[in-house]
């Protein structure tokens, strides 16, 4: 298998980032079907890894991709343009999704007599739409389902937003040069790993944040060292073999981390996969996947696979509406408002 550097692959005329994000978003829908339906057992990814369910693996992939693409975006944009780009990509679609849950789905489904007077209604709206934190419940909505959360997927977005700001700070202090960033990245991973071992078991929210941050800064590490790191299929196979050997052991998380990080970049830039160029339904699928699954469970309860199949059909329609009506117009607005620096091998499917 021929090896090429990340920079060489990035400078080409194709990549698979949109496809990978779409598949990862579907894995979230698929994996959440068990939590939504309260079904016993777990998905195929849970069985394969004995470590994380499908949605957890998908979130790890998302953060690797995000760390890489957002670092690329930071390099070719001014600080103002970078912040505008991030805000226009995330906030409009999120605000619409949250508003639809509060002002349409909630009033139609609630059993609460004081829905509009309840503090949780407005807490859900402002907390989620502002990216400040997360709120999961609306009064009287989905209260008779196995899991009453209105949207259990939004917890990653405040983490993502804070990582964007942390990356901006790193860039402002000149830390994204390879000779500076690489040792800091290694030190951060070692320190986080030592902390997790010393304080094991960590609370779920802290562990989730640490995993997300670790994959994000690793994606950024690949961008920073794109001229030095090669993409080789044999390396992916070696990591896959090591993960297979350690599956079910206390050490599986180490090859898993390396495989998700390096394997994601290899799939995105070296693998010959179908290219999705001008449409990105992944964010809309991620935003609406859980509420769509809850609606399917409310009106057509069944097994986890039953829920996943019907949710896929419903969420594809919702994601398409989000893309064509909200996200794509926001991206066009970004192109008009943001003056970019000269691009340096940006490639297609950029952040």
pLDDT digits (tens, 9 = 90+) for 128-161: 999 999 999 999 999 999 999 999 999 999 999 9
Residue 106's closest CA among 213, 98, 39? 98
Would you tell me how many other CB atoms lie within 10 Å of the CB of residue 315? 28
User: Does residue 184 lie within any of the structural domains?
Assistant: yes
User: Does residue 348 lie within any of the structural domains?
Assistant: no
Contact predicate 88/80, CB 8 Å: no
**Total-model pTM:** 0.94
Write the pLDDT tens digit of every residue in 57-99: 999 999 999 999 999 999 988 899 999 999 999 999 999 999 9
Residue 10's closest CA among 68, 67, 59, 61? 68
pLDDT above 90: percentage of residues in the chain: 89
**Tally of structural domains, the chain:** 1
How many Cα atoms occupy the beta-carbon half-sphere of 131 within 13 Å? Answer: 18
DSSP class of 4: E
Write the pLDDT tens digit of every residue in 248-290: 999 999 999 999 999 999 999 999 999 998 899 999 999 999 9
**3-class secondary structure, 23:** helix
Q: Tokens at residue 323, please?
A: 């893309």
Q: Which helix (H) or strand (E) element contains residue 230? A: strand 230-231
User: Does residue 342 lie within any of the structural domains?
Assistant: no
User: Does residue 115 lie within any of the structural domains?
Assistant: yes
Would you tell me how many other CB atoms lie within 10 Å of the CB of residue 288? 28
pLDDT score recorded for residue 338: 63
Q: Which domain holds residue 26?
A: 4-337
Q: C-alpha 284: how far from its chain's center?
A: 11
pLDDT score recorded for residue 342: 46
User: Does residue 282 lie within any of the structural domains?
Assistant: yes
User: Does residue 346 lie within any of the structural domains?
Assistant: no
Q: Is the pLDDT of residue 337 over 70?
A: no
DSSP class of 103: I
Distance from C-alpha of 244 to C-alpha of 156, rounded to nearest angstrom: 28
Residue 350, φ and ψ in degrees, nearest 5: -75, 175
User: Does residue 255 lie within any of the structural domains?
Assistant: yes
Q: Tokens at residue 280, please?
A: 């990105």
Contact predicate 127/133, CB 8 Å: yes
Distance from C-alpha of 324 to C-alpha of 216, rounded to nearest angstrom: 28
Distance from C-alpha of 334 to C-alpha of 89, rounded to nearest angstrom: 8
Distance from C-alpha of 219 to C-alpha of 63, rounded to nearest angstrom: 7
């Amino acid at each position: 298998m021929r090896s090429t550097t990340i920079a060489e692959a990035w400078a080409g005329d194709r990549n698979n980032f949109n496809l990978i994000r779409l598949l990862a978003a579907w894995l979230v829908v698929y994996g959440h079907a068990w939590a939504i339906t309260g079904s016993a057992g777990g998905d195929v990814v849970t069985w394969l890894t004995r470590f994380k369910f499908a949605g957890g693996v998908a979130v790890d992939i998302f953060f690797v991709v995000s760390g890489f693409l957002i670092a690329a975006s930071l390099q070719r944009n001014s600080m103002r343009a970078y912040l505008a780009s991030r805000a226009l990509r995330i906030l409009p679609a999120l605000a619409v999704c949250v508003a639809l849950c509060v002002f349409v789905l909630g009033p139609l489904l609630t059993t609460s007599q004081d829905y509009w007077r309840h503090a949780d209604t407005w807490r859900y709206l402002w907390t989620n739409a502002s990216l400040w934190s997360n709120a999961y419940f609306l009064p009287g909505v989905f209260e008779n389902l196995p899991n009453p959360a209105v949207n259990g997927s939004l917890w990653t977005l405040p983490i993502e937003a804070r990582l964007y700001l942390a990356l901006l700070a790193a860039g402002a202090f000149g830390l994204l040069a390879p000779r500076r960033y690489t040792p800091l990245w290694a030190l951060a991973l070692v320190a986080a790993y030592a902390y997790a071992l010393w304080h094991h078991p960590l609370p779920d929210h802290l562990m989730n944040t640490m995993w997300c941050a670790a994959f994000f800064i690793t994606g950024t590490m690949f961008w920073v060292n794109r001229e030095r790191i090669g993409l080789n299929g044999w390396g992916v196979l070696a990591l896959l073999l090591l993960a297979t050997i350690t599956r079910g052991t206390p050490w599986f998380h180490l090859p898993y981390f390396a495989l998700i990080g390096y394997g994601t970049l290899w799939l995105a830039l070296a693998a010959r996969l179908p290219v999705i160029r001008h449409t990105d339904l992944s964010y809309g699928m991620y935003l609406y996947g859980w509420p769509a699954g809850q609606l399917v469970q409310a009106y057509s309860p069944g097994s986890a696979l039953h829920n996943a199949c019907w949710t896929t059909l419903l969420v594809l329609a919702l994601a398409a509406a989000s893309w064509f009506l909200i996200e794509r117009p926001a991206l066009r607005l970004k192109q008009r408002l943001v003056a970019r620096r000269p691009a340096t091998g940006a490639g297609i499917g950029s952040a």
